[in-house]
């Protein structure tokens, strides 16, 4: 059973299994475009592949707004621990995460009191023991219209 040919075949099978399991890790957005008005609240949502035996220590999440000439951090998790101090001042006190659904492979970011400068492309990058992936969605926040007579 320990013939060189058998060991090579076993190595090929194991390498194929590790590559194919990494290829099954996916990050998606539940909606690719969001429209909202200034001062409204919105929930941006991403999903990612999970395993029941996964550990929070292997969880890395980086969600940001890709603005012209800069990247603004909304939410960050490093080795399963939230890093609130990395959040950009523009979102301070306005972003909440639904922690209960993280284990299910869902990232739900609640952004309150929207501003027109919150418009743009939002990306969440997720890394677990199963792999790495990212997905993007676009948010357009329009200003409130005031009618004056």
In a domain, 105, yes or no: yes
Strands 106-111 and 95-97: antiparallel
In a domain, 7, yes or no: no
pLDDT value of residue 108: 98
Question: Into how many domains does the chain fold?
Answer: 1
- Average pLDDT, rounded, for the chain: 84
In angstroms, rounded to a whole number, what is the distance separating the alpha carbons of residues 41 and 37?
A: 9
Say what the pTM is: 0.79
Domain with residue 53: its CATH number is: 2.60.40.10
In a domain, 11, yes or no: no
Give the pLDDT band of residue 17 (cuts 50, 70, 90). Answer: very low
In a domain, 18, yes or no: no
Give the pLDDT band of residue 58 (cuts 50, 70, 90). Answer: confident
In angstroms, rounded to a whole number, what is the distance separating the alpha carbons of residues 82 and 56?
A: 11
In a domain, 5, yes or no: no
Q: Which domain holds residue 53?
A: 25-142
In angstroms, rounded to a whole number, what is the distance separating the alpha carbons of residues 125 and 50?
A: 14
In a domain, 20, yes or no: no
44 versus 20: the higher-pLDDT residue is 44
Question: What's the whole-number mean pLDDT along residues 88-107?
Answer: 93
pLDDT, tens only, 29-43: 999 999 999 999 999
pLDDT, tens only, 63-74: 999 988 889 999
In a domain, 2, yes or no: no
In a domain, 93, yes or no: yes
Under a CB-based contact definition with an 8 Å cutoff, are residues 25 and 131 in contact? yes
Tokens for 39, please give them: 């001062």
pLDDT value of residue 139: 98
The position carrying tokens 């329009």 is 142
């Amino acid at each position: 059973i320990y013939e060189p040919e058998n060991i090579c075949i076993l190595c090929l099978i194991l390498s194929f299994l590790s590559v194919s399991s990494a290829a099954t890790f996916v990050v998606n957005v539940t909606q690719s475009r969001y429209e909202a008005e200034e001062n409204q609240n919105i929930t941006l949502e991403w999903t990612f592949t999970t395993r029941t035996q996964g550990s929070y220590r292997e969880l890395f999440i980086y969600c940001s707004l890709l603005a012209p000439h800069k990247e603004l951090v909304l939410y960050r998790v490093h080795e399963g621990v939230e890093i609130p101090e990395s959040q950009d001042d523009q979102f301070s006190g306005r972003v909440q995460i639904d922690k209960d659904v993280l284990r299910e492979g869902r990232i739900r970011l609640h952004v309150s009191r929207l501003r027109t400068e919150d418009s743009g492309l939002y990306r969440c990058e997720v890394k677990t023991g199963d792999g790495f992936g990212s997905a993007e969605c676009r948010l357009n926040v329009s200003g409130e219209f005031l009618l004056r007579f």
